[in-house]
Structure 1
Amino acid sequence: MGLFKKNPFGHILFLKKWLIRVMGLFTHQRYKGFNKLEIEGSDVIRSLPETGVLFVSNHQTYFADVVAMFHVFNASLSGREDSIKNIGYLWNPKLNIYYVAAKETMGKSLLTKILAYAGSISIERTWRAEGKNVKRQVKMSDITNIGTALKDGWVITFPQGTTTPWKPLRKGTAHIIKKYKPVVVPVVIDGFRRSFDKKGLYIKKKGILQSMVIKPPLEIDYENESVDAIIEKLEYAIEQHPSFLKVIPMEELKAYEADHKNRRWRPNKAKTPVGE
């Protein structure tokens, strides 16, 4: 790899590789140390093509979810079996992994700009801006950028567009699937909202069992399935369809919602920053 070789978004791959290595080193214990990440589906990761893969997942924190996926995907590709043991897998990371994120979030600080350089496809949300509800047109350049990333490699997206559980999926994800016809891989995560603050930068509680289940690719008829049919298929696949609420005990649901409302980070001695 040439020292100044760039990806389609103009990011220098040599620099991106070192950012992933360093950030991986500082975040590894968040998933195997302070807490334990239970993984299922490493064999699915190894069976995927090099490009044209869209990972669709539920969302629990701004950054901890996607950082965990970078760990798991690279560990799986390096031969780890449902494990991120031995961080050596980050020495030669897959550099064409991207994730979809809100532009306003990724530009707020030096840290978020570094995270963006590691693989963000920053888009303008059509329904939310600066904490307020808005309605605006989808930027075609955002859609094109996602298509460019799929052509170059793998893309991670969180189609609910929020960390609040059981919210409807945004139909834009289905439009992207119909337009670019990627291999669609569902991912279901849990335990992250209990482990971290809302941003996923601080450890809120230690000793939490986190989980990540990578499911086999979905069968989708890109030409004939409607947008609504694809959205429903995705909701079931990432276990966010409204029907799942019917099988959750009311006491557990109330506790889950209470935890969600109270998980905003407030500085105190119990919090542990990213690198500690």
Structure 2
Amino acid sequence: MGLFKKNPFGHILFLKKWLIRIMGVMSHRRFRGFNELQIEGSEIIKNLPDKKVLFISNHQTYFADVVAMFHVFNASLSGRDDSIKNVGYLWKPKLNIYYIAAKETMKAGLLPKILAYAGAVPIERTWRSAGQAVNRQVKMSDISNIGKALDDGWVITFPQGTTTPFKPIRKGTAHIIKKYKPIVVPIVIDGFRRSFDKKGIRIKKKNILQTMEIKAPLDIDYDNETNEEIVKKIEYAIEQHASFLKVIPQKELEEQEKLNKLREW
């Protein structure tokens, strides 16, 4: 790799590699130290092609979710099974991993700007700006940039566009899937909201079990399924459909409470 070789967004890969290494080492104990990340399904990562893969996930913090995925993806590609033990996997990180993020979030301070260089595809949200509800047109350049990232590698997106659980899936995700026809891999995370503040930077509570389940790619008929049908598949795949908001029996609540006690090891 040439010293000044760049990706399609003009980022110098040598610099990006060192940013991922440094930020990875600094963040590792947040997922294997202060708290423990339990991983399921890492074998799916190993069998994916190098490009045109879209990861869809529920969202709990601005940054910790993505950082954890960078750890898990690179650890899996280096041969680890459901584990991020030993940060040696960061020495040769996959450099064509991107994530979709709100443009205003990635400009809010030095740390977000550094994280943006590591792989953000910034977009303007059509429904919210500066904390206020808005209604504006999708920028075609944003869609094109997502396509550019998919053509170069893997893209992580949070189709609800918010860290609030059980919010509607944005139809733009279905539009991207139909337009670019990527392999779509669902991920379900939990525990991050309890571990970190909303930004995912400050540790709010220690000894919390975080979980990440990587599921098999979705079976999608890109040409014949409607946006609405794809949205419904996404809702179920990332466990954000209204049916998951069930009334939990008292006995199940008691069992969950026992499990939570065990999690606080």
Q: TM-score, normalised by structure 2?
A: 0.94
Aligned twin of 1:264: none
Aligned twin of 2:5: 5
C-alpha separation between the residues in 2 aligned to 1:239 and 1:22? 33
Deviation at 1:66, TM superposition (A): 0.2
C-alpha separation between the residues in 1 aligned to 2:246 and 2:213? 22
Aligned twin of 2:257: none
Q: Percent of aligned pairs with the same residue?
A: 77
- Per-residue CA deviation, residues 13-40 of structure 1 (Å, 9 max, x unaligned), is 0000000000000000000000000000
Alignment of 1:23-102 (within 5 A): 23-102=23-102
Deviation at 1:246, TM superposition (A): 2.1
Distance 1:249 1:191, change over 3 A: farther
Deviation at 1:249, TM superposition (A): 5.3
Gaps in structure 2 of 5+ consecutive residues: 254-265
C-alpha separation between the residues in 2 aligned to 1:5 and 1:233? 39
Aligned twin of 2:173: 173
C-alpha separation between the residues in 1 aligned to 2:247 and 2:171? 25
C-alpha separation between the residues in 2 aligned to 1:194 and 1:27? 17
Secondary structure of 2:54's aligned partner: strand
1:124 aligns with 2:146: no
C-alpha separation between the residues in 2 aligned to 1:195 and 1:5? 37
Aligned twin of 1:236: 236
C-alpha separation between the residues in 1 aligned to 2:24 and 2:148? 25
Aligned twin of 1:147: 147
Distance 1:226 1:202, change over 3 A: same
C-alpha separation between the residues in 2 aligned to 1:214 and 1:244? 18
- Per-residue CA deviation, residues 70-127 of structure 1 (Å, 9 max, x unaligned), is 0000000000000000100000000000000000000011110000000000000000
C-alpha separation between the residues in 1 aligned to 2:205 and 2:246? 29
- Per-residue CA deviation, residues 123-163 of structure 1 (Å, 9 max, x unaligned), is 00000000000000000000000000000000000000000
RMSD: 1.4
Alignment of 1:219-234 (within 5 A): 219-234=219-234
C-alpha separation between the residues in 1 aligned to 2:193 and 2:168? 19
C-alpha separation between the residues in 2 aligned to 1:169 and 1:180? 18
C-alpha separation between the residues in 2 aligned to 1:6 and 1:212? 31
User: Residue type matched to 2:242 in 1?
Assistant: P
Give the count of matched residue pairs: 253
Comparing 120-129 and 238-247, the one that deviates more: 238-247
- Per-residue CA deviation, residues 236-275 of structure 1 (Å, 9 max, x unaligned), is 000000111125459x99xxxxxxxxxxxxxxxxxxxxxx
C-alpha separation between the residues in 2 aligned to 1:227 and 1:248? 31
C-alpha separation between the residues in 1 aligned to 2:249 and 2:174? 31
Distance 1:234 1:71, change over 3 A: same
User: Residue type matched to 2:117 in 1?
Assistant: Y
User: Residue type matched to 1:90 in 2?
Assistant: L
Aligned twin of 1:262: none
C-alpha separation between the residues in 1 aligned to 2:71 and 2:141? 29
Distance 1:248 1:98, change over 3 A: farther
Deviation at 1:204, TM superposition (A): 0.2
Aligned twin of 2:215: 215
User: Residue type matched to 2:149 in 1?
Assistant: A
